[in-house]
A and B are shown apart, each in its own frame.
Chain A
């Protein structure tokens, strides 16, 4: 079903689409005369260094991502999938630019990969989010530039053809772009909002087929898993729902550090399924519901929603030390399927905010 001939046919179709688009008269490209800056990407949950507000004028911000197909362990029992990744991580790295900048991406499809891939940026305008201009076979690379016209946090994902689309995304090919207002974030009434730390949490649903005895199946290659996995995907019930590619990727010794008094911006993306992040013991001080900064943030949320196919930004200042679980508050998915992260927060306990008036003990 997946031989090289099929891949080349798909690539041929994509090339045809690109030719048609190129034939349309293009508007003048403002970007060519702008300053250009190259930025090295960082694997999530971390984010490359960036200005929150900038005095610089618009520029071309250039990134490079390599698509890596690789086997990856996704839970504590050692269950493995043949993952498709942007730059080796699930989710792919967060790219930060400012509104009015041009995001330029060079996408490399390793010659050792088996499949053709592309990228659809929800932050971009036209050509299926760039998907129609970025189809590349193993051993090819492509460079796309788009103008970041809207401030917000937006996902990107692979969108090749037909059933390949959900399959590639379910194997890990998704990430997010953060387009900051040039003056930085505000509360919607002019008050600037800044963060001391930023973390990127990508929620991922996996669908791992089981054999007759109930044990998870392993496959010699991604292609070999396609029929079983897509059949399972049609049932819409994931076997794993995880943060950052694996159960436990952000818990215990991988907990996200912070300190009392620090403000943290949490970017949460979900490429396919709706989800509902909640910070146990904390709140969303400011949450840009739907993730777009032209809209004022909502205040003091207990739980917020991330519609599948989007990303959301939530700002919180830690007020108490300790361990916070940050999770999908469908607790079945959080506890049994894996969608849990921990924040580990140092600092001094505030008895005014909370105190144990009487310890647990016998009644009476």
Chain B
């Protein structure tokens, strides 16, 4: 079961004010300036309102993902910065990661970019072996929790009968996103968020472990999984996108509209010892759009 559901209405309401509680979740960045080990921020358990990744339908119509009250159940460590070019280069040197273009082995404070989900997974497995710790890509909900006030997700569109109106609203929202310069920026350039995590939603979109899913929302609010495609993974950054797992540079063109992700990179999370494998649970759903 991907999300546990308790159906507590009070918790749902409390969750709408979730980000107000962010200050309570004190960031605890560990910051060794030049150590080969990544600096880590520990996320404390808490509630937040989360719109899941994927396509949702209700009564045969596409709808915005319903916001659901979601809880991080146990502390989660997240890399303060994305994986650097130097870190990725060490994995390549160890013959554990595929070689990619434009990686400077001396660049300890520039994010690695131009990496696919498959590259990121190779790095995560290597890094977990090196450290003996449970490092992995975050799920989309974990990334959203870590991003807190920097989380953008998908802009609300127009739920309704007319498919074309919804399409045009999404086109307009996608078109409004400003283009960013492509050159990777030094760590810290885009600043820290309220949880002590750096450079979220800058010019690097980050791979998550979440697959593309289609769900149908019933009248009672239950979101039933219809299909799942794990060759396509959710990317988070200035806006949410889905991308095939082998792509290293996103492009749009032809009939696809909107901006491609400027750069593809990633950061890892680490489950604390004793924590359950799935860190997130949710309670209820806010069917705001129905």
User: A: which residues have CB within 8 A of B?
Assistant: 76-78, 251-253, 255, 280, 320-323, 325, 327, 331, 334-336, 338, 340, 342, 344, 346-349, 356, 359-362
Contacts and interface: CB of A to CB of B under 8 A. Distances in A.
Contacts of A253: 175-176
A161 B156 CA distance: 56
Given A321-B165, A360-B214, 4 more contacts: A325-B254, A325-B255, A349-B164, A356-B163
A335 B254 contact: yes
A348 B164 CA distance: 8
A280 B255 contact: yes
Contacts of A321: 164-165, 168
Contacts of B174: 252
A356 B161 CA distance: 13
B226 interface: yes
Given A76-B179, A344-B168, A252 B257 contact: yes
A344 B168 CA distance: 7
Contacts of A348: 162, 164
B226 A255 contact: no
Given A323-B171, A347-B164, A359 B60 contact: yes
Nearest to B170: A323
Contacts of B131: none
A349 B254 contact: no
11 contacts: A78-B181, A253-B176, A321-B168, A325-B254, A336-B253, A338-B253, A344-B168, A348-B162, A349-B162, A356-B163, A361-B226
B227 A361 contact: yes
Contact of A322 (B164, B176, B179, B258): B164
Contact of A334 (B57, B176, B227, B254): B254
Contact of B254 (A76, A320, A340): A340
B251 interface: yes
A356 B62 CA distance: 12
Interface in B221-241: 226-227
Interface residues of B, number: 26
Interface string B237-276: 0000000000000010111011100000000000000000
A323 B257 contact: yes
Interface string B4-28: 0000000000000000000000000
A362 B253 CA distance: 29
B168 A361 contact: no
Contacts of A331: 254
B168 A346 contact: yes
A240 B60 CA distance: 42
B129 interface: no
Contacts of A77: 182
Contacts of B168: 321-323, 344, 346
A346 B165 CA distance: 8
A338 B179 CA distance: 16
Given A320-B164, A322-B167, A255 B175 contact: yes
A252 B164 CA distance: 16
A320 B258 CA distance: 21
B167 A323 contact: yes
A362 B226 contact: yes
Interface string B138-171: 0000000000000000000000001111011001
A361 B214 contact: yes
Contact of B57 (A322, A344, A346, A359): A359
A251 B257 contact: yes
Contacts of B165: 321
Which 4 interchain pairs have the tightest Cβ spacing?
A335-B253, A252-B175, A321-B164, A253-B175
Contacts of B57: 359
Nearest to A334: B254
A255 B171 CA distance: 10
Contact of B227 (A322, A335, A347, A362): A362
A194 B165 CA distance: 28
A251 B171 CA distance: 10
Contacts of B182: 76-78
A234 B277 CA distance: 60
A255 B257 CA distance: 10
A164 to B, nearest CB: 32
Contacts of B163: 349, 356
Q: Which of B60, B175, B227 is most buried by chain A, counting CB atoms within 10 A of its CB? A: B175
Interface in B36-73: 57, 60
Contacts of B258: 252
B149 to A, nearest CB: 26
Contacts of B171: 252, 255, 323, 342, 344
A340 B258 CA distance: 13
Contacts of A346: 168
Contacts of B175: 252-253, 255
A77 B183 CA distance: 9
A348 B162 CA distance: 8
